[in-house]
A and B are shown apart, each in its own frame.
Chain A
């Protein structure tokens, strides 16, 4: 079971994502932004950071990277893809997920331990969670406010495609307290909080995030 982790210039959480994959007993395969090659992986993680400096707009340049063309093609064929933070922004820019992420409502960068409610445990990345379970993982972003038009929001809500919702005070102004969403087929998930920073209690607030990587292993093995 091989999981690709993309590194763009400016990617920061690639080492964490690779570690999380290893903690789930899968092999982490580094993927380079300039390569037209997914190296035969079974799934891809687009990690957090500031790809290409996040200049222009978060994720706007990264979506055009050679490796992303391969990711888009594979995702459209059903490969599981997870976008975390900047990775979520990139997946939105690449139109693999709907909507956009905007500046936090209080304008500051926010780094805090955040409670999330699992709304959908049927995706390729969330089967290990109970529905409505509450998990505690770090949130750290300056542009994490989820925005979409009313039609898209209604569709996401109606189809149960909101995967995670913020519990308690809305940390960034996201509409409907949305922290993460999924594609119509449940294979692509994007979220602002960082499950890869919560895989052991020593370095994270909890190990609640590990479930996402274990879920992936389950769903790939099952398929």
Chain B
């Protein structure tokens, strides 16, 4: 097989190259030629095309994402040890602990191959956290699917859930939360987002950079194969000899091996602990192309890579394929020469294959050779950090006004509110997620304090001091469709509220922005609005965005998904033993209080969606100052032992919160409400939390709310003697009947 070397490229300047098939535009290809002063080799073309893809270069989103850092104040930044641009954001949480967390999407692979797509989504985000020097501690999975009863959802959902569980369970990471949401716009494009959180001592933070000429570059972990090579295979078939084109192609979705990843984690942590790693980078999207160019670009020198040294699991791979392979469970480390033996020793202990593939050099070029012939000679920054930047056209959709004018005001109200409660708790978006979460290990490592169905997941970080963190991810795509700016803020508000409801103080934000095609000006408008809303919201709450991920081109045919900016909020709790549970009944004699204000807000609500298939009007109002106050009250209530349970109100309103708090706590309650019962029970006004307070603390807690001007109302009492939820003027709902309705839906659909 003839290899396209730099020498060859210089002597054949006019050779046709399949840059279009690789997704590069004419001007991008011209720019590469300008950078290099010649045509790229096949391997260089593979690197540029994959690194300049939307997924890796953020070329459509970059100009907008800048708004996050532009709006982050020094005060917001004060606890941040690493931010946007690193593998994951890092926050100082006190006691010498640093927490790193990040979410990422794996949407398209999961549609093609649900199990492996979801599994490798978990694997990828876990390696991102590991690459910061942290021990991964827990995962969460926000998921979106088409209608629950659609045939393709039956294909996709069980596979994705099994993939998340299969990989995460085998890795030994507890799954502490996430979301499952159904909407018709996701039918041909489910969303699989994965979040991982890890912890390290502050001094152990590792950043991805290759510094110090003479330092060795070591690739360790799994062998490199032909899996996960997407568009690059056209290089093999078109540029090179014909036999390569006839080779049986492997699926372009990567195949994961969680056992290898578990060993890779333990091996890496031992390497970190021995202090023999200068820089570290995980291999994810774009494989070695990404790892070598990013390491070199972030360092202070160049890099030489002997690509033929890479251990392979397929024969006859071309340099372009080796560079682009997305084989899983691989890491790249930069090690000082005198530590190489010690590095190899640790890898041998764990039976991890490790190979010295390169060296940090003087100068500023990334040079890659293949059996002594130069196949890549590029300035690494042009590959990794100086890709194209697009100012895509932005246009508020023409039908946005009509959408907002189509309010739910005229939708018929229910005749029987009690029946509506039973209908709604069994609806796919509100029903118990037990069928899903029972397939995930939530106990492993023994640090899980709260997990599904709690509002937030919580893990203990330090067994001596009991310090811990809480996390929640949220997004209501219908709200965001109606008003992307407000919708993003509502997602932020809900995640913030969930974390505070658990007793933790929110400190940082990550996001996973899932949108349609950036080439659609309407989608870009949604994106721009959502970024602004989220960034402005973070300023108002005083907590920074520490990282994130953008996934574009989420469409079914020409229909974009609901704009879905999933927001993850991290909170800190100094003593996990004072966490606030979600279910009532923990103490004898509790009063139910509703914090916040209820307005008749039904735009984008679960009721309008489920009962009337209606989406229109405006989403609920958002008041972030109020959310902040509410959060402070919830944390103070937890700290002073005044709260025995707290449950956030969101989709499905107070009715859903009441049903869930009773069922989770396995305890009945008597509720009395004023005003229009339908509005009281089903409005989705933001900024509300249902709390249970021991009767002995009621006066003290309500005095605090009044003094701080947080509206509160007594809405009922917990009744341990009762096995039903009783709502005055409506009637009784036996808990057994509610449980059957709530827990029966997903098994009936997917078992």
**With contacts A55-B259, A108-B162 known, is A203 near B447, CB below 8 A?**
yes
Surface stretch bound by B, among A92-100, A109-117, A159-167, A178-186: A109-117
With a CB–CB cut-off of 8 A, which chain A residues contact B460?
202-203
Whether B445 contacts A9 by the Cβ 8 Å rule is no
The contact sample of 5 A-B pairs, CB cut-off 8 A, is A12-B444, A15-B445, A16-B444, A19-B446, A140-B169
Whether A138 contacts B443 by the Cβ 8 Å rule is yes
**Chain A interface residues (CB < 8 Å from chain B):** 9-10, 12-13, 15-16, 19, 49-50, 52-55, 106, 108-112, 138, 140, 142, 194, 196-197, 199, 202-204
A59 to B256, CA, bound (A): 21
Q: Smallest CB–CB gap between B440 and chain A, Å?
A: 6
**With contacts A9-B259, A9-B351 known, is A204 near B162, CB below 8 A?**
no
With a CB–CB cut-off of 8 A, which chain B residues contact A197?
443-444, 446
Whether A16 contacts B446 by the Cβ 8 Å rule is yes
Question: Most chain-A CB neighbours within 10 Å: which of B172, B443, B463?
Answer: B443
Q: Smallest CB–CB gap between A11 and chain B, Å?
A: 8
Q: Smallest CB–CB gap between B328 and chain A, Å?
A: 14
* Residue of B with least CB distance to A19: B446
Interface readout for B249-285 with A: 1 if CB under 8 Å, 0 if not? 0000000011110110010000000000000000000
Q: Which 8 A-B pairs have the closest CB atoms?
A: A53-B259, A12-B172, A197-B443, A16-B446, A50-B170, A138-B443, A140-B441, A109-B439
**With contacts A16-B446, A50-B170 known, is A10 near B259, CB below 8 A?**
yes
* Residue of A with least CB distance to B175: A111
- Tell me if B166 counts as interface (CB < 8 A to partner A): yes
Q: Smallest CB–CB gap between A37 and chain B, Å?
A: 15
For the A-B complex with A13-B444, A108-B162 known, give 19 more contacts whose Cβ atoms are closer than 8 Å: A9-B259, A9-B262, A9-B263, A10-B170, A10-B263, A19-B463, A109-B439, A109-B440, A111-B169, A111-B437, A111-B440, A140-B441, A140-B443, A194-B443, A197-B443, A199-B446, A203-B446, A203-B447, A203-B460
Interface readout for B586-607 with A: 1 if CB under 8 Å, 0 if not? 0000000000000000000000
Contact of B169 among A109, A194, A199, A202 (CB under 8 A): A109
With a CB–CB cut-off of 8 A, which chain B residues contact A140?
169, 441, 443-444
Within residues 164 to 188 of chain B, which ones have a CB less than 8 A from any CB in chain A?
Answer: 165-166, 169-172
With a CB–CB cut-off of 8 A, which chain A residues contact B447?
203
Whether A110 contacts B172 by the Cβ 8 Å rule is no
- Tell me if B74 counts as interface (CB < 8 A to partner A): no
- Tell me if B390 counts as interface (CB < 8 A to partner A): no
With a CB–CB cut-off of 8 A, which chain B residues contact A9?
259, 262-263, 266, 350-351
* Residue of B with least CB distance to A194: B443
What total of chain B residues lie within 8 Å of the partner, measured CB to CB?
A: 34
- Tell me if B438 counts as interface (CB < 8 A to partner A): yes
Contact of A111 among B443, B446, B751 (CB under 8 A): B443
- Tell me if B418 counts as interface (CB < 8 A to partner A): no
Q: Smallest CB–CB gap between B613 and chain A, Å?
A: 32
With a CB–CB cut-off of 8 A, which chain B residues contact A196?
446
A10 to B329, CA, bound (A): 14
Q: Smallest CB–CB gap between A206 and chain B, Å?
A: 12
Within residues 396 to 442 of chain B, which ones have a CB less than 8 A from any CB in chain A?
Answer: 437-442
Q: Smallest CB–CB gap between A107 and chain B, Å?
A: 9
A194 to B169, CA, bound (A): 14
* Residue of A with least CB distance to B262: A10
**Chain B interface residues (CB < 8 Å from chain A):** 162, 165-166, 169-172, 257-260, 262-263, 266, 350-351, 437-449, 460, 463, 576-577, 751
Contact of A15 among B257, B260, B263, B446 (CB under 8 A): B446
Whether B257 contacts A16 by the Cβ 8 Å rule is no
Q: Smallest CB–CB gap between B198 and chain A, Å?
A: 15
A202 to B466, CA, bound (A): 11
Contact of A53 among B170, B350, B439, B440 (CB under 8 A): B170
A49 to B445, CA, bound (A): 11
Whether B170 contacts A203 by the Cβ 8 Å rule is no
Q: Smallest CB–CB gap between A175 and chain B, Å?
A: 23
With a CB–CB cut-off of 8 A, which chain A residues contact B446?
15-16, 19, 196-197, 199, 203-204
With a CB–CB cut-off of 8 A, which chain A residues contact B440?
109, 111
With a CB–CB cut-off of 8 A, which chain B residues contact A110?
438-439
With a CB–CB cut-off of 8 A, which chain B residues contact A112?
438
A15 to B135, CA, bound (A): 13
Whether B259 contacts A202 by the Cβ 8 Å rule is no
With a CB–CB cut-off of 8 A, which chain A residues contact B259?
9-10, 50, 52-55
A93 to B320, CA, bound (A): 45
Whether B442 contacts A111 by the Cβ 8 Å rule is yes
A142 to B460, CA, bound (A): 26
A6 to B189, CA, bound (A): 44
With a CB–CB cut-off of 8 A, which chain B residues contact A15?
445-446
With a CB–CB cut-off of 8 A, which chain A residues contact B445?
12, 15-16
With a CB–CB cut-off of 8 A, which chain A residues contact B266?
9
With a CB–CB cut-off of 8 A, which chain B residues contact A203?
443, 446-449, 460
Q: Smallest CB–CB gap between A188 and chain B, Å?
A: 24
Whether A111 contacts B162 by the Cβ 8 Å rule is no
With a CB–CB cut-off of 8 A, which chain B residues contact A16?
443-446
A138 to B445, CA, bound (A): 13
Q: Smallest CB–CB gap between A214 and chain B, Å?
A: 17
A9 to B447, CA, bound (A): 21
A41 to B448, CA, bound (A): 30
Contact of A202 among B172, B350, B576 (CB under 8 A): B576
Question: Most chain-A CB neighbours within 10 Å: which of B162, B263, B438, B449?
Answer: B438
Whether A111 contacts B441 by the Cβ 8 Å rule is yes
Whether A12 contacts B262 by the Cβ 8 Å rule is yes
A16 to B443, CA, bound (A): 9
With a CB–CB cut-off of 8 A, which chain B residues contact A52?
259
Q: Smallest CB–CB gap between A79 and chain B, Å?
A: 25
Q: Smallest CB–CB gap between A171 and chain B, Å?
A: 10
A54 to B165, CA, bound (A): 15
With a CB–CB cut-off of 8 A, which chain B residues contact A10?
170, 259, 262-263
A13 to B173, CA, bound (A): 10
With a CB–CB cut-off of 8 A, which chain B residues contact A50?
170, 258-259, 262
* Residue of B with least CB distance to A112: B438
A16 to B440, CA, bound (A): 17
Q: Smallest CB–CB gap between A9 and chain B, Å?
A: 5
With a CB–CB cut-off of 8 A, which chain B residues contact A202?
449, 460, 576-577
Whether B172 contacts A49 by the Cβ 8 Å rule is yes
A138 to B440, CA, bound (A): 12
A8 to B162, CA, bound (A): 24
A143 to B438, CA, bound (A): 15
**With contacts A13-B444, A19-B446, A202-B449 known, is A111 near B438, CB below 8 A?**
yes
